[in-house]
A and B are shown apart, each in its own frame.
Chain A
């Protein structure tokens, strides 16, 4: 059952469009990510769901109830802001207690609930302090606590990890997953970072220029991007894209030679000769060709640059005038050096084909 349904949200600021018909559904208890570059409309979508932003058109239904025109205060939705937005003049305790005080709960109950949430988020020792004396991680946890303390049915998170350092970001990611599992709450999480979306989201909606480009599970987005934009956004290092032209009868002319029998061959059959296309393949789907072995797509490549990343190494390869990246586990990469020439095999069944003009996937 869908807890939150967004239909055709349209919003512009003056003449600048922010949302161009955003629609998606979020299931009850789902960890749903909004992924997209800055100015894609992630924050505006969240603010619209919270009721902070008035929409030009479109409807938002939450728990079976149309939210249009409902005041922010009546929506039973909490939000964690990128800036944390703690009340600077209040102690951590008062920040946590604020939502409960606004509900006019009895003092003893407030004290108990603040105690519980402080315990859960390891904040008990900093409750008396003002936000500006807390570390980034503590501020973040106070912000989480303030959002969770009144047990909202929907939690909105607007790039909550952007202001944290790398180590803390990693820890907090795990924290969010844990909280989601323990609290059985619906989460709508906006992020520009594909890694966050892939690791935390049950499902992901990719946003671009105020439109939903694709909705799916992390695997669906990784394996079947609907266009080159999604293909390049998901996965790191980014998908390789090389130019190609259609050669008729489902075949493809590329810098690596003529290809057919790809997963896209059938769809390509409808194309005439000479269409401009882009062939996409992930750095993880390339491997060195064993001597004597054969593969449907092999390329002789020269190593141009190596980027050791610890457990893996990214190799920048050149074949003719095309360049692409491949990823090797560290223990295999030690055998290669810049300038080496060798044959690589690209997994043909895992390649993607996009129209060069529109970027749409052909499949």
Chain B
């Protein structure tokens, strides 16, 4: 509307800022609730109305790793240190593998298109269209036959395969965005195709790598269904171990669960913060440049 004064771009008023703050708080509240609960004693956890001021305790965190399963008996290791290691190792390795393979594949699809390139890309996407539960029985049987059940190799291979379609699609769109002249300039400057990829293309899609890595990590970190069926006692991941902690003879220990969840959150938060500079550019790709 012509008569209305144009708002200065880039500045929101106090009203909108406050509104955004309230929405953010509502979204963040469950996380805050969990973190608070993790520091409460058993009595405080169950008190009604809930307490927001209480004496914090670390006892829940201690019992994540050592506790007695039967009241009165000595505390024993719960194995959660191993489960944490498993989660980090499995998620980290599979996402790293997916990034390496997927980025190379995406570069290939972007720069050296095959006949029917789009069809290939579509087929890759269809592997992610099925709800995973549909394929779980054949995969379970295949893993049993191949002797991969309960092994790191098995679950890492599966997660890598799961992350690949997403990685290829994301990275291809980043490579598609790059100006081809810049790569040609590299060739004229004497770079081999390999060095064009590593020295010129890859550094330009760092934001994309970061965004893809974070999405992949979160997806893999939270995965429950396949981990439940395909990991053994030595390769169990946190989501499965957490579910198994819920049951028990003495009812649900909410404080303990909240402590596990809090610990479970830390790596995600660390990764997101470490990559946030790239992430913001990554998730808004295509909208800022040019």
B110 close to A (CB within 8 Å) = no
Query: Do the beta carbons of A98 and B182 come within 8 Å of each other?
Result: no
Query: Do the beta carbons of B188 and A78 come within 8 Å of each other?
Result: yes
Contacts A73-B192, A83-B179 given; does A89 touch B185 at CB 8 Å: no
For B191, the closest partner residue in chain A by CB is A102
B203 close to A (CB within 8 Å) = yes
Task: A87 to B196: give the CA distance in the assembly, Å.
Answer: 11
Query: Do the beta carbons of B190 and A81 come within 8 Å of each other?
Result: no
Instruction: Tell me the total A-B contact number using a CB cutoff of 8 A.
Output: 55
Query: Do the beta carbons of A99 and B189 come within 8 Å of each other?
Result: yes
For A75, the closest partner residue in chain B by CB is B188
A50 close to B (CB within 8 Å) = yes
Task: A353 to B185: give the CA distance in the assembly, Å.
Answer: 45
A77 close to B (CB within 8 Å) = yes
Secondary structure call for the B interface: helix
Query: Do the beta carbons of A88 and B204 come within 8 Å of each other?
Result: yes
Task: A52 to B187: give the CA distance in the assembly, Å.
Answer: 8
Query: Do the beta carbons of B192 and A87 come within 8 Å of each other?
Result: no
Smallest beta-carbon distance A258→chain B, Å: 56
Find B190's partner among A87, A89, A99 (CB 8 Å cutoff): A99
Task: A85 to B185: give the CA distance in the assembly, Å.
Answer: 7
Task: A103 to B189: give the CA distance in the assembly, Å.
Answer: 9
B200 close to A (CB within 8 Å) = yes
Task: A79 to B183: give the CA distance in the assembly, Å.
Answer: 12
B184 close to A (CB within 8 Å) = yes
Query: Do the beta carbons of A72 and B188 come within 8 Å of each other?
Result: yes
Find B188's partner among A50, A82, A86, A103 (CB 8 Å cutoff): A50
Query: Do the beta carbons of B188 and A89 come within 8 Å of each other?
Result: no
Smallest beta-carbon distance A323→chain B, Å: 40
Query: Do the beta carbons of B181 and A85 come within 8 Å of each other?
Result: yes
Query: Do the beta carbons of A87 and B188 come within 8 Å of each other?
Result: no
Task: A87 to B204: give the CA distance in the assembly, Å.
Answer: 9
B111 close to A (CB within 8 Å) = no
A146 close to B (CB within 8 Å) = yes
Q: A72-B187, A79-B185 are in contact. List 10 more A-B contacts (CB 8 A).
A: A52-B184, A52-B187, A73-B187, A77-B188, A81-B184, A85-B181, A86-B182, A88-B204, A102-B195, A146-B185
Using a CB–CB cutoff of 8 Å, the interface residues on chain B facing chain A are 179, 181-182, 184-192, 195, 200, 203-204, 206
Q: Which 4 A-B pairs have the closest CB atoms?
A: A102-B190, A85-B181, A99-B189, A85-B185
